[in-house]
Structure 1
Amino acid sequence: MGGRAIDDQEEITVAGIIALLLLTGSLLGVGPLSKSADQYYNEAKTNFDRAAILKETNIRMAQPDGTTLTGEIELNRKGDAVMTRNLKAGKEEVMLVRYKPFVRGDRALWESLGQAKLAKALARRWVVSHDSTLGLSIADFISAGEWDKGTHSRTDLKKNETKTINGRAAIRLSDSSGEFWVTTQQPTQVMRLRTTGPSAISFDLSYPSSFSVAAPADAIDPADPTSLPAYYRIVAHDSLPPCDPAACRLGEVVTNDYGNLAPGDRPKVTIMVSRADNHQPLGQCTTDVPVIVHGESVKVSCVVASQALIDYANSGQTTFYHTAVITNPFWDDGRPPSGQAPSQPQG
């Protein structure tokens, strides 16, 4: 036929090359002797279920409002996890310690979560979360069933191209619900997952050898006021001897409703006196409030000395009104004083 015959030696050489190519392809997981898509899937699922520690990075989750939630999570099967989520209001950090959740975020985040009153105290501090669903939702990532939720309907898996992910050779498996990349060498593990549809999710997956967390020792618990910065309140006017018009000492009883954490700038009490007939001011004085432990009260006082008060007394008046306000700089945050004692006649 005009062609050249292949001698025995050449035939053996060609056969050897073909066999080598087939063997090499099999070892790389891309040749006709490699595992089937179902084999890759089943081995990867088994190893996922057995993994003691999982780490998901580059997470992207489609939200109902059209936005995309991003973040990462690392966890074990003992109920421990560390997660970050980039929300509209800012970054939220979540720590799970034996399924007990702690949350940390900036002030804007807490305000968006309905904690405007406590937002300043909670900002950038670990906070005990009483959201019973938070720990459980994170725990869902740990359960073997979570894998099935995303993949149980796979019936038409196909093998596609290969590439290196985090230094490991991986092959892309895909079907109508999405795709995931599985290592071609042992142990067979999922390295990347992408799903499609309105609730599409994607993330990269790794399997750390160690992971541990510890509950923050100084966590704030919104349900426990004693864990919050001190908040001082006037509970009563103090009973003092009758005033000398030239120098009238007046006092207040102050209590601490919250915790023993230093409140920052020192709270102050301002005492004001006014005429009994028309409530025109006669003078005022201000004093610092000492540190008060939770649940206890102290008495503070200062002296009002003004010419207006002296003139008022010299006119034969013996009764004036006494009121007071207290500042809590940490809590007031530039707003008017947070506490005021009612006006009371004084003689």
Structure 2
Amino acid sequence: MGSGAKARLRRWAVGWRRAGCAALIAGAVVLPLSGAARPRVPAPAPAVLAAPTAATLDETYAANRANAAQASRMAADHGDRHRAAADRAMADRSRHLLAFDGRGTGLVTEVLGDLAHADRVAVLVPGSDTGIDTYGRFRAAALALHRQLVAGAPEGTRTAVVAWLGYETPGTVSTTVVTTDRADRAAPELRDLVDDLRRITGPGARITLLCHSYGSVVCARAADGLDVADIALVGSPGTGADTAAGLHSGARIWAGRGADDWVEHVPHVSAGLFGTTVGFGTDPLSPDFGARVFDAGDGGHSDYFDTGSRSLTNLARIALGQTTEVTHG
């Protein structure tokens, strides 16, 4: 085979690899912390509550649990036993729901720990296909993170984790998963959450965003001027920004990806198409992006919050402000 034919063959192979990666984006760019079908079931409107403060947290939690209990009854009457059970679990007296909306795929903001007195607050932002029906695995990640924070915190340091399912995540197999549209709509809600947390905890608390997969796009869109100490992009397909500086954030920007995470093979491109932007641009782990790269271990796309993993250890260190102890990738 001549050199020209070999070159054409190489270009053909590269083209097919890129096409395959593009299809992967379109089908499943952000394999979530959990994933399932997205049913529509009846539920009450969310409880109408004043902006939460440290003094009113218990009332806020109680009102949202009551709303979840009502949503469970409505789902049961509708014949959806799975959703009824998921809502009923949310209504348990042990749950601390800062927000709850059982309509559609559902929105939940859950607190683990004593938020009113926390010195360190980690906000976990999920990726695609996360809703009430798939919330269990997302919550398991938040619980693992909270245990790691408690274990690693210096004596006297109080911690809390906020599991923020505060936006309608894109479907894994959908066109929305390859655009910033959902993230653009979610960003103001995430900014409002940080404002709420600052009101509850006061100015001295350290708030960190840990943003998984498509959640990293959400965090990037909300980052401009946001009052947080650190933003960690975990298994990110990109942010829509060319550089960390392009996020216009005073926070430290971190990025990590497991050695077995297939997102590494997603093409890092961004292009305008039919009035929207498709793709998320520069790889957050690349030197050109300029993030602080942390060691995320050998796991895959859904393994970052596994107990005992290097990624969970480093994410907890970032959230605790132990940044000199973070091991680098």
* Structure with the larger RCO, 1 or 2 (CA within 8 Å, 6+ apart): 2
TM-score (norm 1): 0.21
Structure 1 or 2: larger strand share? 1
Q: TM-score, normalised by structure 2?
A: 0.22
Larger radius of gyration: 1
Higher percent of residues as helix: 2
